[in-house]
Amino acid sequence: MVEDGTPLRRAETPIPGLTVWDIPVHGDQRGWFKENWQREKMVAAGLPDFGPVQNNISFNKSVGTTRGLHAEPWDKWVSVATGRVFGAWVDLREGPGFGATFTVEIDPTVAVFVPRGVANGFQTLEPNTAYSYLVNDHWSSDASYTFVNLADRTLNIPWPIALDRAVVSPADAKHPPLSPSLGTPTKKTLVIGRNGQLGSALRNLWGGARSVDYVDRDELDITSTGLERARVWNDYSVVVNAAAYTAVDAAETPTGRRDAWAINAAAVENLARICRRHALTLVHVSTDYVFDGDSRRPYREDDPVCPIGVYGQSKAAGDLAAQSVPSHFIVRTSWVIGGGTNFVRTMARLADDGKPVKVVTDQLGRLTFAEDLAAGIAHLIDERLPPGIYNVTNAGEPTSWARIAQEVYRARGQNPELVSGISTAEYTESRTETRVAARPAYSVLDLSKVTSSGFTPADHLERLATWMRENLREAGTSARHGSDR
């Protein structure tokens, strides 16, 4: 084989994601040479950066050796080392393309990228043919493999050598015919922290969709050194990390400090490593506590972080870990209100009991309702926005915790003057029984980036009134309680 002068180039096929590649081959009287896999050039030319971890070679002694049709739960890069192969592919992924076919002859100048869920079959056209394939996951007994019969009449694949004269293994000959039941499910979203305020809101938003899995710490411990083996990660395309250590005051204690760093920082690096390896999108929820609160304008996504307590420091470290994932969304939020125990529920209970309360007046911010935060996350994913940091809170005029408490008292039919103001310093001095962590005095996040993408969050005080009507019993009875995490 002599140098053919063919440039590296890609051709699309009727099967979405299945691409055929011309590969330059350089040869002389001694033989030939090609760059069978060259990540930088191929990714630049449009190949997905699919992260192969294993290289397999199939040697076939006889003409007519036929294998398939197999759909594995990973992506493949298939190429021929020597000889010629007839290749056939069938789209077995759920959706409108199910059952679509494509065939092409492959020699050393041609390679094919095969996405997960597309079945492939090969028939050798020359003796002593060898072909190889790079894959981006290791074989696992827990993985789901799909097969379809080589001779299925619905597919009508034009095998060059009739199957009754070909070399076919007994197992391949017994594969089932094409049926919708064979469909490979689309890749799923994994939500970590199913029972927290955000996890519960995401379950309410996405419901029981087959495309979403929800786990808690008992089902998936993201601090574990065995996290890589805990799931078949190639079954997913998106991981939403809604788990966090949020006990701000307890984080200042020796035990709390250790737990905060384990969950908010080290565990995020665990997830980031897996997402990098399997080319997953990581959605990581951050906080206003990564800032010191000394700003006089809303914090933008590109403002440098400057946390003043252990909780904020551990979250800032987790943000840095999440940014190492090429496809990442870091969602900064503040003052989250959702299911379980929270500030609004506590104020409602005190209002119903007619108790006076002192609440800080010198911390300013906006509430974020978990349902709206969940909707913002879904927007980032569904719209396939550019990776990066996005501030997502409710909108409206920033206010103090004391003002919010007064609004709760008013909504419960109580005199808002039962809520009196107190400074953060006075509140800290009054809490002699426990250590009170430093908190940002100004927690307002700039929403320009997310609103320009088409997401418009509601006013936080208007949502407060709606949320109370929908989530709390009528005034005069105790507010409902639940588990936060």
CA distances to 199, 346, 485 from 371, rounded to whole Å, are 10, 19, 16
Token pair 């550019």 is at which residue? 386
Expressed in angstroms, the distance from the first to the final Cα of the chain is: 65
Q: Give CA–CA dist 371/351, Å, rounded.
A: 24
Q: How far, rounded to the nearest angstrom, does the alpha carbon of residue 316 sit from its chain's CA centroid?
A: 19
Confirm if 412 and 479 have CB atoms less than 8 A apart: no
Structure tokens at 426: 């006075």
Q: Give CA–CA dist 485/476, Å, rounded.
A: 27
Compute how many other C-beta atoms are within 10 angstroms of the C-beta atom of residue 290: 25
Reduced to 3 states, what is the DSSP secondary structure of residue 128? coil
Compute how many other C-beta atoms are within 10 angstroms of the C-beta atom of residue 156: 8
Is the CA virtual torsion 466, 468, 473, 477 positive or negative?
A: negative
- 8-state DSSP, 262: I
Active site residues: 70, 133
Q: Give CA–CA dist 315/265, Å, rounded.
A: 6
> Taking Cα atoms as reference points, which of 399, 398, 416 lies closest to residue 407?
416
> Taking Cα atoms as reference points, which of 455, 460, 422, 432 lies closest to residue 444?
460
Q: Give CA–CA dist 202/207, Å, rounded.
A: 8
Reduced to 3 states, what is the DSSP secondary structure of residue 271? helix
CB within 8 Å of 471: residues ≥ 6 apart: 339, 480
